[in-house]
Amino acid sequence: MKLKTTKGLSVKKQERLNDIFLKMCRNAVRVRDLAKLYNTTERTIQNDIKELSKIYNITSPSRGVYKLEVDFQIEKKFEEVFSKFILKANYDIFSEFKELIKKIEFKTGFTPTEFFETNIKLEKLDDNSVLIDLMQAIEWNFTTEFDYKSKKRLVQPLKILNYNAVWYLIGFDVKSNKIKTFKINKIQNLISKNESFIDESLRHKVKSISTPWIDKDKKQTVFRIYYPLNENVTENIIRREKEFVDIEVEYYDEREAFEIVKKYLPFVKIMDEKLKAKMKQFLKESMNFL
């Protein structure tokens, strides 16, 4: 996610980490400038960079200045970047890495698309041009008309998601006056129209969507995170004790909640018994792949 950064901007930690990383993809960064930008301390920025350094090769050419060293000779490093920012994130992140991708292709000799197909096994689209046309429609704020499940739809494309290797379109359905999810492989006979039906507030709202299940009702639950992982939790806390923290989790589909559970295994307790049973089922299914 690309943030609109202004002087004294206050952002959440994960958003700040993403933004710092994207800045490093372009130029070296200065701790003092970032602390002022995000309205935080230099120590906080130093800790952020230390956390990013666990994944990426970050060097310091001078005191208080850090830069990203693009060295993807090791295929593992290549996998870490793209599995983190493409597979589980939004497709619009891909556009932030155009220059980085060029360097990767030069060093490795193979394209991200080939990597995805052989390593991550993304859904293969029946018609790749549909994805390109949708991206262009989003960029130019166009509406599209297409056939979907035997019905003609007039949809303003807002975001492209790739969730668990499947491609989705998040768009504003003009007829129903709702934001809906469409599987891109089921979209047919797409035509772009030079008109728009939404305002910027709606577009901004969709930026935070990271799940294809927006048609469902949002649910809430509580997870208890125990020591030592409780020390890393800073958001959505409703109770904090020495040995644990309780966090409130919002989700549309149980599979979203499962992604959160996996981050904290084995130091997490699911308070809702029905959800716990569902999580055990997902975990068992995941173990079948090993």
CATH, residue 146: 2.30.30
Give 226's strand partners. Answer: 244
Query: Do 55 and 97 fall within a single domain?
Result: no
Question: Terminal CA-to-CA distance of the chain, rounded, Å?
Answer: 32
- Among 77-81, 84-88, 188-192, the range with the most confident prediction by mean pLDDT is 188-192
Residue 236 has pLDDT above 80, yes or no: yes
- Give all strands of the β-sheet with 65-68 in edge-to-edge order: 29-30, 65-68, 58-62
Query: Do 132 and 191 fall within a single domain?
Result: yes
Question: Does residue 212 lie within any of the structural domains?
Answer: no
Tell me what pLDDT residue 209 has. Answer: 72
Question: Does residue 32 lie within any of the structural domains?
Answer: yes
Which of 26, 42, 68 lies at the terminal end of a domain, its last residue?
68
What are the contacts of 205-208 at 24+ separation with CB within 8 A?
Answer: 206/158, 206/159, 206/170, 206/179, 207/1, 207/159
Question: Does residue 8 lie within any of the structural domains?
Answer: no
Question: Does residue 4 lie within any of the structural domains?
Answer: no
Tell me what pLDDT residue 99 has. Answer: 54
Alpha-helix residue ranges (DSSP H) falling in the chain:
13-26, 31-37, 42-53, 75-82, 92-96, 98-108, 112-115, 128-140, 200-207, 254-264, 273-287
Region 194-220 average pLDDT: 74
Question: Does residue 236 lie within any of the structural domains?
Answer: yes
Query: Do 275 and 229 fall within a single domain?
Result: yes
- Domain of 24, CATH number, reads 1.10.10.10
Region 61-78 average pLDDT: 67
Judge whether 15 and 44 are in contact, CB under 8 Å: no
Question: Does residue 290 lie within any of the structural domains?
Answer: no
Query: Do 228 and 175 fall within a single domain?
Result: no
Query: Do 203 and 139 fall within a single domain?
Result: yes
Name the more confident of 38 and 13.
38
Q: Which domain holds residue 164?
A: 128-207
The first and second tokens of residue 29, run together, are 């960064």
Question: Does residue 213 lie within any of the structural domains?
Answer: no
Tell me what pLDDT residue 152 has. Answer: 94
Which of 53, 85, 120 lies at the terminal end of a domain, its last residue?
120
Name the more confident of 149 and 202.
149
Residue 97 has pLDDT above 60, yes or no: no
Which of 179, 207, 235 lies at the terminal end of a domain, its last residue?
207
Query: Do 111 and 181 fall within a single domain?
Result: no
Tell me what pLDDT residue 103 has. Answer: 54
> How does residue 85 score in pLDDT terms, banded at 50, 70 and 90?
very low
| Average pLDDT of the chain to the nearest whole number | 76
Query: Do 242 and 190 fall within a single domain?
Result: no
Tell me what pLDDT residue 53 has. Answer: 84
80/86 Cα distance (integer angstroms): 10
Side chain identity at residue 128, one-letter code: N
Judge whether 271 and 257 are in contact, CB under 8 Å: no
Question: Does residue 55 lie within any of the structural domains?
Answer: yes
pTM of the predicted protein model: 0.46
Query: Do 93 and 147 fall within a single domain?
Result: no
Q: Left, alpha or beta for 125 (phi > 0: left; psi -120 to 50: alpha)?
A: beta
Question: Could you give the percent of the chain with pLDDT greater than 70?
Answer: 73
Tell me what pLDDT residue 109 has. Answer: 47
Region 142-165 average pLDDT: 88
When divided into structural domains, the chain yields a total of: 4
